[in-house]
Every structure is written in C-alpha cells, then in structure tokens.
C-alpha cells in the first residue's frame, strides 16, 4: 500500500496505463498537425482525433459533429455560458444557476453580471438537490440560459437533469449541464436528454489533464459565439491547434469508461459503502448530501467537535479534501456545505472521500482505522467534546468571539 | 500550509493535555474562542499557596497552530508566578512556534487563555485588582 492512500478521485484521477500507452505515439513519430490537409502526417493525426471524438460521442450518446474539443471543463463551461449569453443577448439578459455549482460556473456568471446580465443563484435543499418547483419559478421570459451540474464535485449528489431540461425546453430556455464529475459514473444519453450544452473533462475519468469537450446540440440547433479566435478550428467555435495526444487520451479514457463503468461502479459502490459503515460507527458523524441520489464514488462526512484543519493534519496519510479552505489561508468553510444549511463548525470539520478505479479494500480499511484513532485523539483534546459529554448544550454557551 | 517543526512536534506530542477539577479553589480555568471561529481553548492552572503555578492542563478545539500554541503555554506558565504568566505575550508564542501571519490569531488566543485562567483564579480568591473583568468559563458555560 502506497502512502498517503489516495482517496481524492474527485480532484483528479491517475491516467489509466492503457490511456498512457494510447497517447505516447502521438507525442513521437506521429506528431502531425490534424489541421494539415496536404500530407499524410496531418491525415494520420486527423483520423486519430476523429476516432477519439467517436469514443466520447459514444459514451454520452451524441453525434460526433456536436462535440468541440477544449482545454478542459473550465473552458467548456466558459465557452458554453459566455458563448450562448453573447449570441442570444437580444433575447434577454437573465441567467440561472445554483449556489452549489463549481467555481468555473459561478465565476463565469459573476463575470457576465459585470457585463450587464442578471443572474439568479438558486438555493438547494438540505440534501443538496434542487427543488424542481423553485427552479420552474425562476424561469422567466427573458431567461436565456440555465446552468446546472449533473454531479456535484463536493458531495456527489446527482441533479434531476431530465426534469430540469424539460422545464427549460418548454419555456425556450437553453440548458447547460456541467458533467465534469459525471462521465463514467452515471449514464448520459444526450439523444434522449433535453440538454443543449454539456461540458466534459478528461482528467476526472482517467484521462490526461488539459483536455475536455463541449457538446453543442445540432437539433434543435444551438448557437454560441466563439471566445477564442484564430484559425477557425472546431467549426469556428474554438480555434487553436488540436493537441492530438491529449485528445487521443480523452478518447481512450472515455472508451474504457463506457466498456467498464457498469462493473466498475458496482465495485466502487461496495468500497464506498464499506467506508461509510466504518465512519458512521464513530459518534457524531454527519453525512453531507443525499445518500440515494449520489454517485457511488463519493462520501462527504462531517466529524462534529473536531476542527477541520487539525483533522486534515491528523489524517496526512490519507489524500483527501477538506470542506474547510483554511489551508488556502482564507478561513472560509465550504460554500457548498453552507448552502446545505450546515453550521460553520460542521462545514469546517468535513472531509470529502472519493474512491476510484485503483482503490482497494485494504485502502478503505486503513482509512477507517486511521480516522477512528485520530478523531478519537482530537476529541479527547477537544473542550467542546468534554462539554458535550458533561451534558452541556453548546448552543446555550455564550462564546467570546474573536 | 507548511507548519514549522515545533508546531508539528507540539501537535503530534501535545504537552499537558487534560483537565483539572475546576471546582478546586487552587485551580483557575480560562476558556476563550468560539466554535464558529474554528478555535476554542481551555487552559487550567493549579496555583500553589505561595502563588506559583505548579501545574497546567489544556484542551483545544482548533487547527494545528492553536493546539501547539496552547500546548506551549502550558509548559511556559509552569513554575511562574501569576504576574509572570500574565506577562507572556502572543508575539513570544508566535516567534517560538514560527507561526505564519495567518496563524497569529492562535497565539493571541493562547495569551488570552492565560489571562482568563489567571483572572478566574484571582476571582475565586476575591482579588479584583487584576484589571478589567473577563468572563471565565464558569460564567460563560452557565
């Protein structure tokens, strides 16, 4: 077992060795520019890019002509939201998103606010899921686009994209879905989903960093204004020489995901459930986010009466993410957990565990034993735990704020 | 966050973790901070008849720097008179532990914890000359 044990697959995944093997030739002797139309080097590279596009299209059930290569999900999200907002600005200037979205979406929306758009940021319920009725009420005549993520990166909950998309379609509102955390985890069939734009990333699904794709629906046709100009690649929607090796990597990663996701998800669910059982056996542990409408990879738990940063320090043999952003010098708790209505204390003491393709039972058992030991030790050291054990209700204590 | 070796040492091997009987007249208890801020420190001192701190215990809910700051001050106050303990400044704690600027508040909290513990002890003994009254844990927790 290699330490620290990697339980942070939602941050990024290792590139599958089969993907590495597929990529390497395109860095060496097969170096051609896929846009070179006049010689065999170019034709060879173009063919590889198009084959990769077929693999991605097959995983998500769309036409190859509906996919645009990008540098990753952040660029895809920027292109989808800014591109559509710009193209359809004469229709209206209202956009809708959710408070628990990734910063790629929220920061893009903030930028559009500076440019004169009005944005509605919807709350979620305590389980992290959108209230469909509330979403319907937010849709207006001048709403151009709504953006909702399929799988949340922190708590792993799955939004009802089909229902949300139908509401958007009924009212003529474009619907963008951030699927960076979803590919290979939940089935996606764009042929039947009422979704107009969808963003993808390679590196969350055992592909390389630095490559992603944007789905842009053809029927009914969705238009976006390009955000990067120069050469008119990707049917004018995203210029720039295509990184053949990266694209081949994404294609191979998505091919493997399609072939293996059914059996892989069963195994991963078994591991996650094992971790879940081990963790809730400790006292005062709270699971964040709905446990049913959730990908099998994710577990997000708050360890009450233990401070988040010291918890992360205590579990340094585990590579996990903290809901507390203390480590980045801003003492802000996770905005996602705050949106669920979690107290600052619980938000601060949360850990996101995400298991994946190379996680073993041994890894999970190691994590459970370590948490049991360290959480116990920190609670022994905690005046809050002592007071709770004495029967004092901490909410009645008048703290000296500092 | 890159912690100094001293912070890591105190965090991994905290000195004087535990509790003294807060009803004991020779014990002063100070609790400072708030859970919502991410730090709560409880410092207890046991004072001899001659006015010297002969034992100290702490419990801290907080980050590694907060745990290290409180662990350190339990070592520092032992053997000191109350006035000497009151003279400990957060800057000395921050310097000893090489705390980064974002963690200076941990050392301030530790200094406040000493003051709160000493004032609780003095209050028990009817001495109100310690300056401005600071709520001790007993009042706060009531």
Which DSSP string do the residues of A170-221 spell out, in sequence order?
HTT-EEEEE-TTTTTTS---TTTS--SEEEEESTTTTS-TT-EEEEE-TTTT
Work out the angle between the directed axes of helices B90-97 and B5-12 (0-180°, nearest 10). Answer: 100
User: Is the minimum CB–CB distance between A393 and chain B shorter than 8 Å?
Assistant: no
- What order of strands is seen across the sheet that includes strand B53-61? B27-34, B39-47, B53-61
Q: Do A398 and B17 count as a contact with CB atoms less than 8 A apart?
A: no
pLDDT tens, position by position, B43-101: 999 999 999 999 999 999 998 999 999 999 999 999 999 999 999 999 999 999 999 99
With beta carbons under 8 A apart, name residues in chain A contacting B112: 402
Give ∠ CA A371-A376-A381 in degrees, rounded to 5: 130
User: Is the minimum CB–CB distance between B121 and chain A shorter than 8 Å?
Assistant: no
E strand or H helix at B114: helix B104-124
User: Is the minimum CB–CB distance between A389 and chain B shorter than 8 Å?
Assistant: no
Task: Give me the residues of chain A with pLDDT under 50, please.
Answer: 326-330
Distance CA A169, CA B79 (A): 75
With beta carbons under 8 A apart, name residues in chain B contacting A400: 32-34, 135, 140
Q: Do A380 and B17 count as a contact with CB atoms less than 8 A apart?
A: yes
User: Is the minimum CB–CB distance between B15 and chain A shorter than 8 Å?
Assistant: no
Q: How many contacts, defined by CB atoms under 8 Å, are there between A and B?
A: 95
pLDDT of residue B1: 56
Q: Do B38 and A309 count as a contact with CB atoms less than 8 A apart?
A: yes
Work out the angle between the directed axes of helices B64-77 and B90-97 (0-180°, nearest 10). Answer: 120
pLDDT of residue A266: 98
Nearest chain B alpha carbon to A330: B102
Q: Do B112 and A402 count as a contact with CB atoms less than 8 A apart?
A: yes
Burial of B102 by CB count in 10 Å (0-12 exposed, 13-18 middle, 19+ buried)? middle
SS3 of residue A68 by DSSP: strand
pLDDT of residue B138: 44
Please tell me the number of Cα atoms within 13 Å of A233 on its side-chain side: 18
pLDDT of residue A30: 97
Query: Confidence band (pLDDT; 50, 70, 90) for B141?
Result: very low
Cα dihedral A313→A318→A320→A326 (10° resolution): 10
- Active-site annotation holder among B21, B24, B37, B140: B37
Closest of A115, A94, A111 to residue A103, by C-alpha: A111
Distance CA A172, CA A140 (A): 10
E strand or H helix at A302: strand A298-303
Query: Confidence band (pLDDT; 50, 70, 90) for B142?
Result: very low
pLDDT of residue A296: 98
User: Is the minimum CB–CB distance between B38 and chain A shorter than 8 Å?
Assistant: yes
Nearest chain A alpha carbon to B70: A381
User: Is the minimum CB–CB distance between B106 and chain A shorter than 8 Å?
Assistant: no
Give ∠ CA A367-A373-A379 in degrees, rounded to 5: 125
Distance CA A295, CA A205 (A): 13
């Amino acid at each position: 077992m290699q330490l620290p044990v990697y339980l942070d697959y939602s941050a990024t995944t290792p590139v599958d060795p089969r993907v590495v093997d597929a990529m390497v030739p395109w860095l060496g002797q097969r170096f051609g520019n896929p846009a070179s139309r006049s010689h065999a080097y170019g034709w060879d590279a173009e063919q590889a890019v198009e084959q990769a596009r077929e693999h991605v299209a097959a995983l998500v059930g769309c036409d190859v002509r509906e996919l645009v290569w990008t540098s990753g999900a952040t660029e895809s999200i920027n292109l989808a939201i800014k591109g559509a907002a710009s193209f359809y600005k004469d229709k209206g200037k209202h956009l809708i998103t959710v408070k628990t979205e990734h910063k790629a979406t929220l920061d893009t929306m903030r930028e559009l606010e500076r440019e004169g758009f009005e944005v509605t940021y919807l709350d979620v319920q305590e389980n992290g899921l959108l209230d469909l009725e509330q979403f319907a009420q937010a849709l207006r005549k001048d709403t151009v686009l709504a953006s909702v993520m399929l799988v949340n990166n922190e708590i792993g909950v799955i939004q009802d994209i089909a229902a949300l998309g139908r509401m958007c379609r009924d009212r003529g509102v474009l619907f963008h879905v951030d699927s960076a955390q979803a590919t290979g985890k939940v089935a996606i069939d764009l042929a039947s989903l009422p979704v107009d734009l969808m963003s993808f990333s390679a590196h969350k699904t055992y592909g390389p960093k630095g490559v992603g794709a944007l789905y842009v629906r053809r029927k009914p046709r969705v238009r976006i204004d390009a955000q990067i100009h120069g050469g008119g690649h990707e049917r004018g929607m995203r210029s720039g020489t295509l990184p053949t090796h990266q694209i081949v990597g994404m294609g191979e990663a998505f091919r493997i995901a399609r072939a293996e996701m059914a059996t892989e998800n069963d195994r991963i669910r078994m591991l996650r459930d094992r971790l879940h059982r081990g963790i809730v056996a400790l006292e005062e542990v709270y699971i964040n986010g709905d446990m049913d409408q959730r990908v099998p990879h994710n577990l997000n738990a708050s360890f009450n009466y233990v401070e988040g940063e010291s918890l992360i320090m205590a579990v340094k043999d585990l590579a996990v993410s903290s809901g507390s952003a203390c480590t980045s010098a801003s003492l802000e708790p996770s905005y996602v957990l705050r949106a669920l209505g979690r107290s600052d204390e619980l938000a601060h003491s949360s850990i996101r565990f995400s298991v994946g393709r190379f996680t073993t039972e041994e890894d999970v058992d190691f994590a459970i034993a370590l948490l049991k030991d360290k959480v116990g030790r920190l609670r022994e050291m905690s005046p809050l735990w002592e007071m709770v054990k004495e029967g004092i209700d901490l909410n009645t204590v008048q703290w000296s704020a500092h | 966050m890159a912690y100094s070796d001293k912070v890591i040492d105190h965090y991994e091997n905290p000195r004087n973790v535990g509790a003294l009987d807060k009803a004991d007249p020779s014990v002063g208890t100070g609790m400072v901070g708030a859970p919502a801020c991410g730090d709560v420190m409880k410092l207890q001192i046991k004072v001899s008849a001659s006015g010297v701190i002969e034992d100290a215990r702490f419990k801290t809910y907080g980050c590694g720097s907060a745990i290290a700051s409180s662990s350190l001050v339990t070592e520092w106050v032992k053997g000191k008179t109350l006035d000497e303990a009151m003279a400990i400044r957060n800057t000395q704690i921050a310097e000893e532990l090489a705390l980064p600027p974002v963690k200076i508040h941990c050392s301030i909290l530790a200094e406040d914890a000493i003051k709160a513990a000493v004032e609780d002890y003095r209050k028990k003994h009817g001495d109100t000359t310690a300056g401005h009254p600071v709520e001790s844990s007993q009042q706060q927790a009531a």
